[in-house]
Structure 1
Amino acid sequence: MWDQEMSAIRGSVTPLRKETLQDGVFRRLCGLILEGGIAPGQSITVASLAEAFDVSPMPVREALTRLTAIGALTVVSGRTIGIPKLTRERLDDLTRVRLEVESTAVRWASERSNPQFLAELAPILERLRLAERTADATLYVGANYDLHFRIYRQASSPVLVGMVEVLWLQISPYFHLLRESGNFHISNDRHEELFDALGASGADRAVGALQADINGAYRVLSDLI
């Protein structure tokens, strides 16, 4: 009887796609935000995103609804969307949580450090230095994301990395604002220290470098809002 019921279900149900169109658009939008493709004050439309992704407006709207729900994007006017305004209260909250969650990720990554991991970090550090020399905010935001998340993935915890990604979707666009403050240079010094600590199996030192990086960005952004 059970086998007959299962056969009937299999015959009437279309197999699920591994990735729905909405999920694909959502992931591409997340990448656009995290890698510096949308800066504060920059507006985009549903129509322009649908055209760029070669999809209908519907999956774009659905993905934007998900990103709006977590505070990564907001409706500016009509069909135009952008990065929401950063308030002091929101910055304080994001920073407190980042310090806790990302410190854990760095500690776990330090425990799993190996030569291959460090070899993958080195060229990303060079991209960050290039971004500093050229004052290229978009290049910096993208390389900064790549460096931090390569470290966080080394923690071997998809749940933890997912938590960090939600935080970064809300805060990383504001890293564009750090260019004029000279924070790129200061932050890159912290990145070098973090890299050295990961290579020396110094978890406490690595966490300290990360926290100094987060707190440095916090001080600059708190003066700008």
Structure 2
Amino acid sequence: MTARKIPPSGSMQATAHERVYAELRQGLMNGDFIPGQRLVVRKIAERFETSAMPVREALRRLVSEEALFDHSNRGVIVPEASVDVISDIVRVRCLIEGSATEWAAATITLPELEAIDELNERMKACTTVDGSEKYLAFNRQFHFQIYRAARSVATQQIIERLWLRAGPWLNIMRGEATLGLGLDYHAEILAALRAGDGVKARRALVADISDAADMMLRAASAPPPATGRTSARRRAAMPVTQASR
């Protein structure tokens, strides 16, 4: 009987680091974290059943990508953003993601269209607060399936960096009042892609991003309540109907 070869500890650490990094990165793009949230090494290590070293490496990597911020007093946190920063990111998203969507209309395949349609149907089934986590994950998959169909690796990498910055603000979409608001735009995008109409697909995509951005900006600019007990990051995680009160 041949003994099973045990990988060296360095290899195991690298594997754990990649797993933690990938999960945190995906969580940021899905809106699983809120602006200003502190990421505690010990808690993350417990969640992933690993040691602190792979977690620290993953956090350092995300800080270098500007997805996280290493605060001198608070440690590693999800960056908070001003109205100006959010507006700037949205403007670039509309430009880059709009272009990718327009290009996709000329190169997308039938199986890809069917996969995107299925993701949109799954989103429709998650339009309650209980389904909000899945809703945002399916939303990211819906968009990135389109961007992959554009056949531009460089563009997709840029878009991923943008979503790392914008993702935490998508947390406001977890409210029952806001879930499902982009589905009409998704239907328009799908119809345009099926028709090979890149201009119309781009227009619907930009409208989808812009409407979501309006809610983010309202949450970011909402004044604190008179009691002062609700922080900006807490307001960002609320549905807009609550955050703006």
TM-score normalized by the length of structure 1: 0.82
Report how far residue 89 of structure 1 moved.
1.3
> Is 1:52 the equivalent of 2:53?
no
Report how far residue 20 of structure 1 moved.
4.0
**Does the 8 A contact of 2:104 with 2:151 survive in 1?**
yes
Report how far residue 86 of structure 1 moved.
2.2
| Structure 1 vs Structure 2 CA RMSD | 2.7
Query: What residue is the counterpart of 1:117 in the other structure?
Result: 112
TM-score normalized by the length of structure 2: 0.76
Q: Which of 108, 111, 123 is the matching residue for 2:103?
A: 108
The C-alpha deviation readout for 1:146-170, integer Å capped at 9, x for no partner, is 1000111111111111110000011
The C-alpha deviation readout for 1:179-211, integer Å capped at 9, x for no partner, is 448443331111111111111111011000000
Aligned residues: 210
Query: What residue is the counterpart of 1:190 in the other structure?
Result: 185
Query: What residue is the counterpart of 2:219 in the other structure?
Result: 224
Q: 2:115 is matched by which residue type in structure 1? A: E
Q: Which of 170, 179, 184 is the matching residue for 1:175?
A: 170
Query: What residue is the counterpart of 1:11 in the other structure?
Result: none
Gaps of 5+ in 2: 1-10, 221-245
Structure 2 distance, partners of 1:80, 1:199, is: 47
Gaps of 5+ in 1: 1-16
Looking at secondary structure, tell me which structure has more helix per residue.
1
Report how far residue 26 of structure 1 moved.
2.1
Q: 1:191 is matched by which residue type in structure 2? A: H
Structure 2 distance, partners of 1:42, 1:79, is: 10
**Does the 8 A contact of 1:43 with 1:81 survive in 2?**
yes
Larger displacement relative to structure 2 (150-159 or 124-133): 124-133
The C-alpha deviation readout for 1:19-68, integer Å capped at 9, x for no partner, is 94444432222122223432346544111222333333223212212222
Counterparts of 1:155-166 in structure 2, within 5 Å, are: 155-166=150-161
The residue matched to 1:184 in structure 2 has which SS? Answer: coil
Counterparts of 1:192-211 in structure 2, within 5 Å, are: 192-211=187-206
Structure 1 distance, partners of 2:77, 2:21, is: 15
